[in-house]
Amino acid sequence: MTTGHRVHLLPQTDQLRAMHTVIRDRACTRQDFVFYSRRVIRLLLEESLNHLPFQKKEVTTPVGETYHGLEFASKLCAVPVIRAGESMEAELRDVLPGVRVGKILIQRDRRTKLPHLYYKHLPDDIADRHVLLLEPMLATAGSALAAVDVLGEAGVEPRNIVMVNFLASPEGIHRVQAQAPDVTIVTSAIEDHLNQHKFMIPGIGDFGDRFFGTTDAGATS
Ligand code: PRP
């Protein structure tokens, strides 16, 4: 599929595909799943930071010369969509130790797959911040769009949202592009399609369950 100017797919290097090969294997141990997922998450976070605004900054180097550099031009906030989004928090804090973190808890109904908002807690000044929305899975995009709505109600402009996403379906990306076209998406893989059960194909299983060890099963969603 064409990705569009606000959809950024990580370079599909052999190394990235090898990491996906480990974690997509239904026989992958949880230890390997967490280890290699976290390596991919680190790449996603580093790329996501490239889509935030920077401004010029000059510093004087130890030899007394001027370096014409850059610095972040905006205040930042990260918002994981609990539960799977919390898998990204450890790497986030390694990259941005002092970052503010809001929370949104959205769970899909097991049967209908429709998202339900249970809880939110966001910084009071979030409307003045750029937001890294940590949502690893974009299947129907129902959960992601519900989270974008919650941020919108708090005053966050869609163009100030960068969605950090591990795996996306073409259907999910198209839906975000249609309903929230100003949101930037950074992802490590775009799947073939959604099946009739709204599972991504070839898929990775239930990311939250596999990451947090709440199931022994492989492919579920
Ligand atoms: C999963 C995943 C996403 C959502 C993606 O969450 O973490 O939030 O589904 O599917 P969608 O694009 O069709 O909405 P789930 O509700 O299964 O909870 P979890 O985070 O606890 O795994």
Confidence of residue 5 (pLDDT cuts 50, 70, 90): confident
Q: What are the two backbone dihedrals, phi and then psi, of residue 102, each rounded to the nearest 5 degrees?
A: -90, 175
Residue % of the chain over a pLDDT of 70: 95
Clarify whether 109 is annotated catalytic: no
Q: Is the pLDDT of residue 142 over 60?
A: yes
* Cis before 83 (ω within 30): yes
Range of the domain at 157: 2-215
Residue % of the chain over a pLDDT of 90: 89
135-160: average pLDDT: 97
Q: Is the pLDDT of residue 3 over 80?
A: no
Q: Is the pLDDT of residue 84 over 90?
A: yes
Domain presence at residue 14? yes
Residue whose CB lies within 8 A of the most ligand 1 atoms, among 41, 79, 83, for a mutation test: 83
Confidence of residue 61 (pLDDT cuts 50, 70, 90): very high
Domain of 28, CATH number, reads 3.40.50.2020
Clarify whether 216 is annotated catalytic: no
Domain presence at residue 180? yes
Nearest to 33 by CA among 24, 43, 44, 46: 24
Nearest to 207 by CA among 114, 150, 138: 138
Number of domains in the chain: 1
Domain presence at residue 220? no
Q: Which of 13, 112, 214, 215 is catalytic?
A: 112
Cβ-contact 36, 23 below 8 angstroms:
yes
Confidence of residue 1 (pLDDT cuts 50, 70, 90): low
Residue whose CB lies within 8 A of the most ligand 1 atoms, among 114, 143, 197, 214, for a mutation test: 143
11-33: average pLDDT: 97
Domain presence at residue 221? no
Model pLDDT, residue 209: 93
Q: Is the pLDDT of residue 220 over 80?
A: no
Model pLDDT, residue 218: 45
How close is the Cα of 64 to the center of ligand 1, in Å?
Answer: 52
Model pLDDT, residue 215: 78
97-112: average pLDDT: 92
Confidence of residue 192 (pLDDT cuts 50, 70, 90): very high
Distance (Å, whole) CA 212 – CA 104:
18
Model pLDDT, residue 221: 40
pLDDT in tens, 177-189: 999 999 999 999 9
Confidence of residue 114 (pLDDT cuts 50, 70, 90): confident
Cβ-contact 195, 210 below 8 angstroms:
no
Domain presence at residue 31? yes
Q: Is the pLDDT of residue 216 over 80?
A: no
Domain presence at residue 187? yes
